[in-house]
Structure 1
Amino acid sequence: MDTVCKAQPAKCVASDCIPILYKYYQPGDFIIGGITSQILMVSEENNFIQHPLQEQNQEPILLTKYYQHVLALAFAVKEVNENTQILPNVTLGFHIYDSYFNAMCTYQATMLLLSTWDRFNPNYKCNTHSNLVAVVGGLSSETSLHIAAILGSYKISQLMYGSTSAISDKTQVFPTFRMAPKETHQYMGILRLLLHFRWIWINVLAVDDDDGERFVQAALPLFFQNGICFDFIERIPRFSFVSEAFEVIILIQKVYALIMERKANVLVLHGEIHAMITWGTFLYIPEKVTPKGKVWIMSAQLDIVALGYQRNLDFQVFQGALSFTSHSNILPGFPKFLQLRSPSWNKEDGFIKDFWQQAFNCKFPNVLVDEIVGETCTGEEKLESLPGPFFEMSMTGHSYNIYNAVYAVAHALQAMHASTSKHKPVVDGGSLKLQNQQPWQLHHFLRSVSFNNSAGDTVSFDHNGELVTGFDVINWVISPNHSFHKVKVGRMDILVPPEQSVTVKEDAIMWHSWFNQVRPFSVCNENCRLGYSKQKKEGEPFCCYDCALCPEGKIANQLDMVDCIQCQEYQYASKNHDSCLPKFVSFLSYEDALGINLTIFALSFSLITAFVLGTFLKHQDTPIVKANNQNLSYTLLISLLLCFLCALLFIGPPENMVCLLRQTAFGIIFSIAVSCVLAKTITVVLAFMATKPGSGMRKWVGRRLSNSIILSCSLIQATICAVWLATYPPFPDTDMHSVNEEIVLKCNEGSVALFYCVLGYLGFLALVSFTVAFLARKLPNTFNEAKFITFSMLVFCSVWLSFVPSYLSTKGKYMVAVEIFSILASSAGLLGCIFFPKCYIIVMRPELNNREQLMRRKIERK
């Protein structure tokens, strides 16, 4: 029953939109308003876009695919009214209007929802049976903003089922609820998907409008910070007039050609619903462009939508695409509800006639027109026979949001009634009387609503009025016969940490045939193999790089490593620099071939020295043994014997006592040996000088001088060694770095300076001995060892001069081997050069070992 209006009616100023002709009306005690977006285009005279291939006409062009949104709202209201557990004795009704993707028509449709049924009287409530409690809409963020601008004044809740990318803080004053996750969640989802598949070299295509600008400003820096680079970023203008269409199509086809040429295999598309209609011109592929397989990653608002003139287009270019959609589930009864739809089912459905004609490409008979061009609609056509781009039988994410929105309003009304009845229950004829409740009161109950829908999903809002839900990851499967399927292959959960938010069943994904069902790669260049790290290319994004082999001691055990990993001290890098292997302990041991050979040489020379010493002792009374002080010969032989034996101290694992004895024993024993050689040389010189008449050198010839030389020279070396042991003594140590694959056990010299002082002093003694022997080489030959000593000291000095560079240039156990070799070689040189000629006479030519024979040889040589 109409009541008296209390305000002056407002005048409609948007009559050109005529949205009242495209309404879906169902009366009830409470009305849920619906504003959908299906009608895309009208004639050019109304300044709306029209495809250049579409003939001008006065009939609106519908996006038939989104007719399901209308049916989802009707289905949800039908279920609520049939459910005796929710709002008993109360009937929900709904009014649905189209926004035409136009601000003016959106405003008018919103005002129509606020007006009395069948009258356009804004700001009036003239019918108690038209109580608007909430509005479900709209599909695009721009439409939602226009609706919110009107509803905010009336404090009526809006449940937005589509994109919310433009809903920012400036709209928080309005009672709005988001049935889809915020756009920022989707940005993170796309990022996690790219990182999951390691697609770091991508192309980006966005509409050149406010939504596209928000995407570029918010999402692309996020991608870049997480290692994603861009081959190119293209903004496609959004055209609104026929005159702009041709230019935009040419531009899009140029972009398509660029996409096919570029190396990146992944293209991220972002835009609202109408953007896909614009990008549908991708399907008009220029003949000169060779199509290639690409992975299209699309935002939740994008879908394959076809208009009537696109019926025969091949959508294979989008095969294997991945898209984010609002989460949906299977609702029992909804497929059957769709199957029962027909033009005769509900006369109040203002959408179904135009939907039917454009979806099935037919015409209904018209009494005003005698002849029908084309096929005639029978009304018996089946929705399930329509291709996916025209209509889907499975519930889409947007339809699922609408379904949940209706149930959320119903549960909120139920909660509001329960709250009211506690204080003042009002019943009239068994029906609830909530008409006196103001729309803004429902807002509180919507915020706290929580229930499980018929699919088993929980529906509740967070403190920001956003539905606690996520996204489904959909794989588009397009068959050669143009059939279109959406396969759910993953999910994004917004309640878990970002790195765990996206889960994908990769085995379920059907890639484009170009990739032969192998996961596509999308990188600027080939991945750096194991053992190689990235090396930046000058002037290129960081995703474009060269690969450099890891340096010594470092590895790269993963693909595309930024830096090589340093192996730990006890490990070394493998030959391919792809793993760290444990180092093995190394020292010169008696089990090594080198250690065995050096041991054999040391023992052999020791036995030879002992044999020479025994020979000299056995023939100690012979002239050749007595010559040049036989006691010095004995001392020299014993010191040489010890020299050969001290080489054994350098073989085997280094221990505390061994390290203390190695260098000190070597230094002192060799000092004694060289001192003996020096004493022998001086004795020879003094002996020949003392034979001259009136010489005063006789008093210097004797054991006292030679003993003094040996003791004084050895004492100096012993003092150096004592200082060494007292200050910085040698100690067992490990060398982790000298040899790449080994942990070298060694004796640390403690003080390198004192070590070289020991060697330097030995070199000084050897040089003095060599100089004195060299000066005495021309003395008479009989019993003269000067020549042999000169040659022996030449060998000795040569060995130790070559020792220093050899020692410094070797590493690990070979340093020890070099020192042992020098000890053995220099000792053998002294033994051979000084004592071999004498042993030859003693053993092989004993007849020459007497004074007369030696003197005779001297005379014969003269």
Structure 2
Amino acid sequence: MALSLCCAVALGPRCLLSIPPLPDYTERGSIMLGMVNPIRATSTKPVILFSKHPDPRPCVIFRNDLYKSILALLFAVKEVNESPYLLPNITLGFQMYDSCFSEPLSLQATFQMTSGGGNYAPNYNCEPQPIPPAVIGDISSSSLAIARVLGLWRLPQVSYIATVPSLSNKLEFPSFLRTSVSIESQPRSLIEMCKKFGWTWIGIFISSIDYFQPSATALTREATKNGICIAFFETVTYVLSKEKIPVMIENVRRSTANVIILYCSPAEVYMIFTEVLQQNLIGKMWIGIESWFTTPIFLQKQLWNILNGTIGMAKSRKILPNFSNFLQSLRPSTHSRMFSIQQFWEQLFNCRWAVDGANISLSSGVGRDSPACTGLEKLVTDDLTEFNDPTSQNTYMAHNALYTIAHAIHNLLSCKPGQGPFAGNSCADKHDVKPWQLLYYLKRVWFLNTAGEEVSFDANGDIHGYFDILNWRLKDNRGQYEKVGTVSNFSNTGPELFINDSAIFWAGGPGKVPLSVCSHDCPPGYRKAPQRGQPVCCFDCVPCPDGMISNQTNSTTCFMCPEDQWSNNDRTKCIPKVIEFLSYGEPLGLVMASFSIIFSVTTMMVLCVFVKFRDTTVVKANNRNLSYLLLLSLTFCFLCSLAFIGCPSRLTCTIRQALFGVTFSLCISCILAKTIIVVIAFKATKPGSNLRVWVGSRTALLVVLISTCVQVFIILVWLIRFPPFLEPDYHLLIGIILLGCNEGSVVMFYCTIGYLGFLATISFVVAFLARNLPDSFNEAKYITFSMLTFLSVWTSFIPAYLSTKGKYVVAVEIFAILVSSFGLLCFIFGPKCYIILLKPSMNTRDYLRAKT
């Protein structure tokens, strides 16, 4: 009584808008669903002057292309009601309205369903039937209006045809879901397909219609994000493009882009292809989108040569099992109140209904001489024709829409007390289900449909659905669509693309994928260098520099090889660097090692000669012991050069300069001692000289010991404070690791060389001053020449040492050691050996006295 009073007050005549109710088609069931579907359209929008009560909007144009989706809803309801597993003992019914492609009529139908009858007061229902728990429908523009109203009470709406991206906004449309894929997914899918086939240089024709503008933005954004450049971007306006289209197509002809995406309406696409045909433009690959790729454009035979091999996207076109049987058993008499069933029948069988004995057509396009419709005609169809029917995609989505609601209701009714998802683990009241409770289950629904495909929604209410990639081809003088792939699992990481390349028919021939790039790929070993003022897809291929590689096609950078590696000739991989040092195996090292051994053996032979003839006058007159020591030190000087040859190690790096410095200091000290002894001996012969006490081996030993110890001290400081160490040099020579010794301290190295120069200079000065002493066996002149040679060699060594690189630095030092040592051997001991071996008559005391 209270409820009736409330309804009487709330819905009094003065509180209602006087709008005649819309006709509906209702089939009763335990649970009644609402359906708002586009079936017919109006030819023109009436002009309302408000001088009289506005007439109802005329809906007279039958849309046969969408009617099969209405039949798919009937088929799905029939399947659910006959299923022993889904909603057992419960029947689904529905209340269907024709939206007439009109937002006002869609809203009126929504109010009529949610108010329980002809009184339009949403959320008030005084009729016996309950408010539908969910609504199926409508197209994008109408769904926006319906979703705003139903979202107020969180009443679920499931659309199978709305694709506008804004409906994914759950803050604005919290109760909207859809089994069709949002058009915003198409740009990402198209770009993925371009990436798949290597099309990085594409053209775009975009419609100026507001419906396509968000997709235009998304398409350019996705292209930029994925490194695909747009060669041209043309906006197509149907009214103004008759003059512009020829210019646009001419631009396409001149462009190097061979792949063009047509993001337009069917009418605009037809206008574009008409001009393409007129200009005889061939060799371009046209990419279609869902809005036109499955439209009657492909029925125009004059366009078949242009469209042959075209690839496009469409909503998933799975075959519904037994749907063809349902269509074959369909009779108008069983659904006599169904919207436009007679018009559907007329267009399907090209017949006319008999009304009062006369054949009267209820729809346009039926010939006057067409036979009468009997209602017993049988639809001849099979799964193949169903799949190639462009309307099958909407059929499949409509079927999924009803099944999602059925599964959500089934899950809601299957809830066990204490295990529910609501407060206190409660379940919904099965006799008073709230819309938001069903919405909870709808958002989480998951099932395998009758085609074997998963159906579920993401957080935005969009189906985890699929696009089919279709290839249109001519076969046996008839056109048909072939499914060659799918795009699925749209997420933040992007769509997953599956394409069977071998199944695609290309206009250029089997396997001849069209090429659409601004610049050809850069092979490994090269990098891409952008062209000034051009998009990133236009570039030059620049070879990688030495020491850098690129091992991938179209690499943007070259990568530096590790320190111990170098690039190969193709700059495609890093190979180990050649380790270089002065080795015994190469000619230079072999020659120097040979000379070192030969000279050391020669020196030992000279020593043997001196030992053998030790009692002769020449040997005794030139300080025999110093000569022995000098020859031994020269031998070690020659041999120490071997420490500089071969693979350096920590030990050789430490000792080689020390050996060189000590042996040469000993050698020069012996020569200095010889020179000093000669001068002292001459001065001591004068009467009353006090130098006689200095003539003897003690003086020589003292000079040698002091001179050598100074060098030993310098070297010890060097080895303790700044020890040499093994150091590979990766950068001195290209592609080579120079394995050498770091001297530790350049200052200490030159101190060692400088001290040798200091000793040699003193020896040279003293010998030079004593060169004319009247002594037949005076060797001061020979020492002068030897010291002059020594100083010349080591003076030349310094600039040569500083100007050479790599192993030749070591070679220069070895050369200086060998030449300076050989000079000492030749100038000091050459004349003596000549006398001892070849002129023994001169090697006598008598000859010396006679000469004196």
Q: TM-score, normalised by structure 2?
A: 0.78
Matched, 1:498 2:493: yes
Note the 1:813-832 alignment, pairs <5 A: 813-832=807-826
- Name the structure 2 match of 1:605: 599
Aligned residue for 2:708, secondary structure, equals helix
Aligned residue for 1:578, secondary structure, equals coil
Aligned residue for 2:167, secondary structure, equals coil
Matched, 1:92 2:111: no
Q: 1:306 aligns with which of 277, 280, 296?
A: 296
Q: Is the 8 A contact 2:525 2:544 kept in 1?
A: yes
Cα-to-partner distance string for 1:464-491 (whole Å, 9 max, x where unaligned)? 5444x23245142322645121414244
Give the aligned residue type for 2:177. F
Matched, 1:294 2:289: no
Structure 2 CA distance for partners of 1:44 and 1:413, relative to 1, 3 Å: closer
Structure 2 CA distance for partners of 1:377 and 1:147, relative to 1, 3 Å: farther
Matched, 1:619 2:620: no
Q: In the TM superposition, what is the alpha-carbon distance from 1:406 to its structure 2 partner? A: 1.1
Q: In the TM superposition, what is the alpha-carbon distance from 1:723 to its structure 2 partner? A: 0.6
Structure 2 CA distance for partners of 1:372 and 1:151, relative to 1, 3 Å: closer
Cα-to-partner distance string for 1:784-825 (whole Å, 9 max, x where unaligned)? 656654554454445434544554565555544443333223
- Name the structure 1 match of 2:157: 158
Q: In the TM superposition, what is the alpha-carbon distance from 1:666 to its structure 2 partner? A: 0.8
Q: Is the 8 A contact 1:27 1:129 kept in 2?
A: no
Q: In the TM superposition, what is the alpha-carbon distance from 1:420 to its structure 2 partner? A: 13
Q: In the TM superposition, what is the alpha-carbon distance from 1:187 to its structure 2 partner? A: 5.5
- Name the structure 2 match of 1:74: 74
- Name the structure 2 match of 1:529: 523
Moved more, 698-707 or 571-580: 698-707
Note the 1:336-415 alignment, pairs <5 A: 336-338=325-327, 350=339, 367=359, 392-393=388-389, 396-414=392-410
Structure 2 CA distance for partners of 1:96 and 1:335, relative to 1, 3 Å: farther
**Counterpart Cα distance in 2 of 1:573 and 1:441:** 67
Matched, 1:282 2:272: yes
Q: 1:662 aligns with which of 645, 656, 674?
A: 656
Give the aligned residue type for 1:609. T
Matched, 1:331 2:320: yes
Q: In the TM superposition, what is the alpha-carbon distance from 1:105 to its structure 2 partner? A: 5.5
Q: Is the 8 A contact 1:320 1:510 kept in 2?
A: no
**Counterpart Cα distance in 2 of 1:597 and 1:350:** 108
Q: In the TM superposition, what is the alpha-carbon distance from 1:527 to its structure 2 partner? A: 2.9
Q: In the TM superposition, what is the alpha-carbon distance from 1:620 to its structure 2 partner? A: 4.0
Q: Is the 8 A contact 1:624 1:783 kept in 2?
A: yes
Where does the alignment leave 5 or more consecutive residues of structure 1 unmatched? 48-57, 238-244, 423-432
Note the 1:638-717 alignment, pairs <5 A: 638-680=632-674, 706-717=700-711
Give the aligned residue type for 2:593. T
Moved more, 636-645 or 670-679: 670-679
**Counterpart Cα distance in 1 of 2:149 and 2:181:** 23
- Name the structure 2 match of 1:726: 720
Q: Is the 8 A contact 1:28 1:92 kept in 2?
A: yes
Note the 1:201-240 alignment, pairs <5 A: 201-217=201-217, 220-221=220-221, 223-237=223-237
Q: Is the 8 A contact 1:293 1:515 kept in 2?
A: no
**Counterpart Cα distance in 1 of 2:41 and 2:840:** 128
Q: Is the 8 A contact 1:115 1:121 kept in 2?
A: yes
Cα-to-partner distance string for 1:415-467 (whole Å, 9 max, x where unaligned)? 66678999xxxxxxxxxx99987767754554455544323344444565444
Moved more, 305-314 or 4-13: 4-13
Give the aligned residue type for 1:290. L
Q: Is the 8 A contact 1:159 1:177 kept in 2?
A: yes
Q: Is the 8 A contact 1:308 1:358 kept in 2?
A: no
**Counterpart Cα distance in 1 of 2:694 and 2:61:** 132
Note the 1:829-848 alignment, pairs <5 A: 829-847=823-841
Q: In the TM superposition, what is the alpha-carbon distance from 1:654 to its structure 2 partner? A: 4.2
Aligned residue for 1:581, secondary structure, equals strand
Matched, 1:550 2:532: no
- Name the structure 1 match of 2:423: none
* Percentage of matched positions with identical amino acids: 36
**Counterpart Cα distance in 1 of 2:597 and 2:382:** 101
Q: In the TM superposition, what is the alpha-carbon distance from 1:192 to its structure 2 partner? A: 4.9
Give the aligned residue type for 1:79. E
Q: 1:489 aligns with which of 481, 485, 491?
A: 485
Q: Is the 8 A contact 1:12 1:120 kept in 2?
A: no
- Name the structure 2 match of 1:321: 311
Q: In the TM superposition, what is the alpha-carbon distance from 1:402 to its structure 2 partner? A: 1.3
**Counterpart Cα distance in 1 of 2:266 and 2:770:** 108
Q: 1:756 aligns with which of 750, 754, 763?
A: 750
Q: Is the 8 A contact 2:502 2:511 kept in 1?
A: no
Q: In the TM superposition, what is the alpha-carbon distance from 1:706 to its structure 2 partner? A: 4.9
Cα-to-partner distance string for 1:510-548 (whole Å, 9 max, x where unaligned)? 163348524555544233322233344444444444444
**Counterpart Cα distance in 2 of 1:345 and 1:512:** 47
**Counterpart Cα distance in 2 of 1:285 and 1:360:** 35
- Name the structure 2 match of 1:479: 474
Q: In the TM superposition, what is the alpha-carbon distance from 1:508 to its structure 2 partner? A: 4.1
Moved more, 289-298 or 846-855: 846-855
Give the aligned residue type for 1:280. Y
Structure 2 CA distance for partners of 1:784 and 1:34, relative to 1, 3 Å: farther
Structure 2 CA distance for partners of 1:133 and 1:178, relative to 1, 3 Å: same
Cα-to-partner distance string for 1:127-174 (whole Å, 9 max, x where unaligned)? 86897553322343x332033245456765321223140215476455
Where does the alignment leave 5 or more consecutive residues of structure 2 unmatched? 49-57, 419-428
Q: Is the 8 A contact 1:229 1:542 kept in 2?
A: yes
Matched, 1:455 2:451: yes
Matched, 1:800 2:799: no
**Counterpart Cα distance in 2 of 1:493 and 1:372:** 42
**Counterpart Cα distance in 2 of 1:382 and 1:435:** 42
**Counterpart Cα distance in 2 of 1:26 and 1:377:** 32
Q: Is the 8 A contact 2:200 2:228 kept in 1?
A: yes
Q: Is the 8 A contact 1:277 1:306 kept in 2?
A: no
**Counterpart Cα distance in 1 of 2:142 and 2:108:** 12
Aligned residue for 1:479, secondary structure, equals strand
Aligned length: 810
Give the aligned residue type for 1:148. A
**Counterpart Cα distance in 2 of 1:348 and 1:738:** 94
Q: Is the 8 A contact 1:571 1:581 kept in 2?
A: yes
**Counterpart Cα distance in 2 of 1:387 and 1:363:** 28
**Counterpart Cα distance in 2 of 1:251 and 1:70:** 40
Structure 2 CA distance for partners of 1:540 and 1:63, relative to 1, 3 Å: farther
Q: Is the 8 A contact 1:655 1:732 kept in 2?
A: yes
- Name the structure 2 match of 1:579: 573
RMSD: 5.1
Q: Is the 8 A contact 1:383 1:393 kept in 2?
A: no
Q: Is the 8 A contact 1:155 1:175 kept in 2?
A: yes
Give the aligned residue type for 1:291. I
- Name the structure 2 match of 1:51: none
Structure 2 CA distance for partners of 1:705 and 1:440, relative to 1, 3 Å: closer
Give the aligned residue type for 1:403. H
**Counterpart Cα distance in 1 of 2:348 and 2:587:** 90
**Counterpart Cα distance in 2 of 1:519 and 1:773:** 92
**Counterpart Cα distance in 1 of 2:509 and 2:761:** 80
- Name the structure 1 match of 2:144: 145
